Amino acid sequence: MKKHYDCDGGSIAIGTKECRSCFPNGYGDGCFSVEVVSTKEQKKIFNEHYSNWKFVGSVEGSAINVYDYDCLNIDELEDKSHILFTLSGIYGVYCNNGDIVLDKWN
Q: What secondary structure does DSSP assign to 41-101, as a single string?
A: HHHHHHHHH-TTPEEEEEEEEEEEEEESBTT--GGGGG-GGGEEEEEEEEEEEEEETTEEE
Rounded mean pLDDT of 8-21?
96
Percent of the chain exceeding pLDDT 70 equals: 100
Q: Could you read off the pLDDT of 32-84 as tens digits, one per residue?
A: 999 999 999 998 998 888 888 999 999 999 999 999 999 999 999 999 999 99
pLDDT given for residue 50 in this prediction: 82
The pLDDT assigned to 69 comes to 98
pLDDT at 1 over 90: no
What stretch of H or E contains 4? strand 2-7
Domain ranges of the chain: 2-105
